[in-house]
Amino acid sequence: MDFNDTPEEAEFRAEARAFLSQHLKPKTPGALRSGNREDFLARAKAWQKTKAEGGFAQITWPKEMGGRGGTVMQQVIWGQEEAKFDAPTGPFAIGLGMCIPTVIAFGSDEHKQRYVQPALKGEEIWCQLFSEPAAGSDVAGLKTKAVKDGDEWVINGQKVWTSGAHYSDFGILLVRTDPNVPKHKGLTMFIVDMKQPGVDVRPIHQASGGSEFNEVYFTDVRIADKDRLGEPGMGWKVALVTLMNERLAVGGSPGPDWKEIMDYARSAGTLSNQAFRDKLADWYVAAQGYKLTKFRTQTALSRGETPGPENSIGKIINANHLQVSATAASRDAGFISA
Amino acid sequence: MNFDFSDDQKFLRDEARKFLEAQCTMAHVREVLDDDSKSHNEGVWQKIIDMGWLGAAIPEEYGGLGLGMLELCVIAEELGRTLAPVPFGSSAYFFAEALKLAGSEEQKQALLPKIADGSLIGCIAVSEGPGDIATGTIATRLKDGTLSGRKIPVTDGDIATHAIVLAKDGSGASLVIVDLNQSGVTRKPIKTLEPTRSHAAISFDGASAQLLGEAGNGMPLLDQINDRAAVLIAFEQLGGASRCLEMATAYAKERQAFGRAIGGYQAIKHKLADMYVKNEVARSNAYYGAWALSSNAAELPEAAAAARVAASEAFWFASKENIQTHGGMGFTWEVDCHLFYRRAKLLAVQAGSPAVWKEKLVSALEAKND
């Protein structure tokens, strides 16, 4: 056991780091939370363009698609290194991570010509329109319908929790095209232009004060039949391919930050509180568990193996521990931070 | 990044699993559970001795297999899976590791080969009843090479041939090696809630003892020994926790209620998912402990503590949720769930309770981030 890169991995890491430090500043606490949305989007688009030009936009995509033709392991290393810098990456994660791979897998040559490069260069942003008010975990129960009308489909219904819809140019849209067959069999996937008439995007005001998600209403929205992804009724299979791409997301989030809380408690003079120390130990163990599990996933990838389901524990650990640690920090350590 | 066991180590694990699944079944564990006169399963113990596992991490020059700590971790996980009712941990994790750490050349030559061939069973005697042990509170005394006092409970104290004992030595504390088969030693088996592992109270009345390491260095040395044993115990706990999740999952698929398998209900699915998350957190922390242990890393104190805290939580949680998943059958004598619950309770307090390890962990983090 060791935590070292192979020589090839080390070489790629050095290359990635050199590129990053040439273009970005190292990450500082809170940097990504400051500034207004327009600034952030402009910076994000500029950074995406820089990455595309440098050959770091999509590491695992084939070169003919504008990718690097690299390994999954290189993708992981890039994610780790990019996370150390003040890199505005959020707006492109869904489009490049999920939507465009779906377009590549199921779209026509015309689609690939039209959409892949602009997305890669940060010129166009994509969102994913799956969930509905009555179809969350049971997404195959969705009701937004599409009715064929000549060479077009007419869409009516509502989507919800659509991340980034308010600044997206296009989306992949899962709708019901046949209400008379079992629920998984009546679905079809389309490409939708988010700026066209009849598409009404309403941001959801979150408890945190921010707005990252939206409700999206479709009223008599017309989509050309040629913008269908996969055959009518095959939408569920197409959606599974979209979601599969999510499983390789092993970079990014650092997990619960026990150290930030420990430093706070030390400065507030409450680090000696035994109940607090007890909880701090739990947070450290959870954060380490999360971080080290990613190392195990990375090891499997590095050895050319397929990682197991262990990589999915992050969501459960992080969601719970962020709530628990924030609560305990304000109650036991006596500080409240926005 | 190479944060997993090697192919050779995984091969050892697979072989150990096959061996133990055949040679150390729940029936073998129950032979000890159901018979108060049995301290361990002698047949299973002899077979484990024959495998040479006790010497896995003992160098060849001292009669061991000379494999390494990672290999011992792999074996520990498998012993934990099968609840092996044998004094393996006392001998291999505590006694042998203590000798490797602090023994004189003469002590190592005299004792390590006997641990490896099973003719010596070692144990560690620290506790003197409820409460934390500190230099000021130790009642057992070492004077002129003889030992007086009482230790309780001592895991495997009734069958061990030798013990490492913590004693007050002048103004400080020392660790000593004591041959338990001498006239100044009396032992009394004691019952605990985990009858498949034996415990004793040991009284010393002028028993002859020889120093392990330097005089007065007992407490820091004990910390080092416990850090090493903690990682290995964490692997036993991990094995037990994994087995609980497997048992619960198998039962959830098989048991029908309201016309479908109970595993189809979210009440059960969520239990299994929560067990899985805790087990993976424990596994990753245990691997980190294994890395620190095998590479003599400076991070060993916090790595051992985190491994221990995570594994104690995971095994306790998995063993209790396994009982609940089994419903009413889960708390019968006949179904094996309680055997894992008992073992989880015992392992959680060996080498210090989770509360002790949490405090060790935070102290180590504090020192590091000053």
Contacts of A3 in chain B (CB under 8 A): 1-3, 291
**Residues ≥6 apart with Cβ < 8 Å to A194:** A127, A165, A168, A169, A170, A171, A201
- Residue A240 pLDDT more than 50? yes
User: Which A-chain residues 34-53 have CB contacts (< 8 A) with chain B?
Assistant: none
Contact: B369, A259; criterion CB under 8 Å: yes
Q: Answer whether A103's CB lies under 8 Å from A229's CB.
A: yes
- Contact criterion met (CB < 8 Å) for A295 and B1: yes
Rounded to a whole number of angstroms, the distance from the CA of B100 to the nearest CA of chain A is 22
User: Under an 8 A CB cutoff, do B1 and A299 touch?
Assistant: yes
Give Cβ neighbours of residue B368 (< 8 Å, ≥ 6 apart): B302
d(Cα B361, Cα B350) in Å, to the nearest integer? Answer: 16
pLDDT tens digit sequence for A75-112: 888 988 998 888 888 888 889 988 998 999 999 999 99
Q: Is B362 in CB contact (< 8 Å) with chain A?
A: yes
Could A313 and B281 be called an inter-chain contact, meaning their C-beta atoms sit closer than 8 Å?
yes
- Written as one string, the DSSP assignment of A10-41 is HHHHHHHHHHHHHH-PBP-TTGGGSS-HHHHH
pLDDT at site A227: 97
B7 touches chain A (CB under 8 A): no
Shortest Cα distance from B346 to chain A (angstroms)?
21
* Gap between the Cα atoms of A167 and A91, Å rounded: 9
Q: A13 and chain B: CB distance < 8 Å anywhere?
A: no
What secondary structure letter does DSSP report for A124? S
Residue A2 token pair: 């060791």
| pLDDT level of residue A212 (50, 70, 90 thresholds) | confident
Q: What is the pTM of this model?
A: 0.88
Instruction: State mean pLDDT over A136-143.
Output: 91
**Given an 8 Å threshold on Cβ–Cβ distance, is A285 in contact with B4?**
no
Rounded distance, CA B107 to CA B284, Å?
A: 35
Q: How confident is the model at residue A253 (pLDDT cuts 50, 70, 90)?
A: low
**A73: closest chain B residue by CA:** B1
Helix and strand numbers, DSSP H then E, in chain B = 12, 9
Q: Judged by CB atoms within 8 Å, which residues 29-68 of B form the interface with A?
A: none
Radius of gyration of chain A (CA): 22
* A44: nearest Cα among A88, A93, A94: A88
**Phi–psi pair at B150, nearest 5 degrees:** -135, 135
ipTM confidence score? 0.93
Which of chain A's residues have a Cβ under 8 Å away from the Cβ of B310? Answer: 285, 289
Q: What angle do helix axes A313-332 and A274-302 make, rounded to 10 degrees?
A: 160
Query: Could you tell me which CATH number the domain at A126-246 has?
Result: 2.40.110.10
Residue B329 forms contact with A (CB below 8 Å)? no
Which residues of chain B have a CB within 8 Å of the CB of A288?
Answer: 284-285, 288, 306
Q: Which residues from A are below 8 Å from B290, CB to CB? A: 1
Architecture of domain B122-216: Beta Barrel (2.40)
Alpha helix ranges (H) inside A245-312:
258-268, 274-302
A252 — pLDDT class (breaks 50, 70, 90): very low
Please indicate whether, in this complex, the C-beta atoms of B309 and A286 are within 8 angstroms of each other. no
- Which residue from B316, B325, B304 is spatially nearest to B343, judged by alpha carbons? B316
| pLDDT tens readout for residues A2-34 | 888 889 999 999 999 999 999 998 877 654 444
Mutation target among B1, B2, B73, B266 for the A interface, most CBs of A within 10 A: B1
- Please, which residues have CB within 8 angstroms of residue B183's CB and are 6 or more apart in sequence? none
In A, minimum Cα distance to B311 occurs at A285
Supply B4's token pair.
């997993």
Instruction: Kindly tell me if the per-residue pLDDT of A36 is higher than 80.
Output: no
Q: How far is B301 from B286, CA to CA, in rounded Å? A: 13
- Residues of A serving a catalytic function are 246
* Upper half-sphere CA count for residue A126 (Cβ side, 13 Å): 26
Res B253: pLDDT: 98
Q: What is the mean pLDDT of chain A?
A: 87
B282 to chain A: which residues are within 8 Å by CB? 289
CATH 1.10.540.10 in chain B is located at 7-116
> Do B90 and B151 meet the contact criterion of CB atoms below 8 Å apart?
no
CB B231 within 8 A of CB B289: yes
pLDDT tens digit sequence for A290-338: 889 988 988 887 788 777 788 778 878 887 877 887 777 777 656 554 3
CA distance B238 to chain A (A): 13
Please identify, in words, the CATH class of the domain defined by B7-116.
mainly alpha
Angle (CA) B190-B196-B200 rounded to 5° is: 20
Estimate the share of chain A in helix, then strand, then coil, as percent rounded to the nearest 5: 50, 15, 35
Confidence bin at A250 (pLDDT 50/70/90)? very low
Say how far apart CA B206 and CA A173 lie, in whole Å.
Answer: 83
pLDDT at A159 over 90: yes
Distance from CA of A268 to the nearest CA of B (A): 15
Residue range(s) of every CATH 2.40.110.10 domain in chain B: 122-216
Q: In chain B, whose CA is at the least distance from the CA of A295?
A: B3
In terms of CA atoms, which chain B residue is nearest residue A316?
B277
Q: What is the pLDDT of residue B34?
A: 95
Ranges in chain B, pLDDT < 70: 370
Segment 272-301 of chain B within 8 Å of chain A by CB: 273-274, 276-277, 280-285, 287-288, 290-291, 294-295
Distance, in Å, from the CA atom of B203 to the CA atom of B27, rounded to the nearest integer, reads 34
The domains of chain A are located at: 7-88, 126-246, 258-332
* Residue A273 burial class via C-beta count within 10 angstroms: exposed 0-12, middle 13-18, buried 19 and up: middle
CA pair distance A274, A272, nearest whole angstrom: 6
Task: Report the percentage of chain B scoring pLDDT > 70.
Answer: 100
Region for residue B278 given its phi and psi (left: phi exceeds 0; alpha: psi -120 to 50; beta: otherwise): alpha
Whether pLDDT at A235 is above 80: yes
The pLDDT tens digits of the residues spanning B15-70 come to 999 999 999 999 999 999 999 999 999 999 999 999 999 999 999 999 999 999 99
The count of C-alpha atoms lying within 13 angstroms of the C-alpha of B200, restricted to the half-sphere facing its C-beta, is 25
**Do residue A285 and residue B70 have CB atoms under 8 angstroms apart?**
no
Residue B167: per-residue pLDDT: 98
Domain boundaries B219-368, CATH class: mainly alpha
Please state whether beta strands A214-224 and B162-169 pair in parallel, antiparallel, or not at all (unpaired): unpaired
In this prediction, residues A110-125 reach a mean pLDDT of: 95
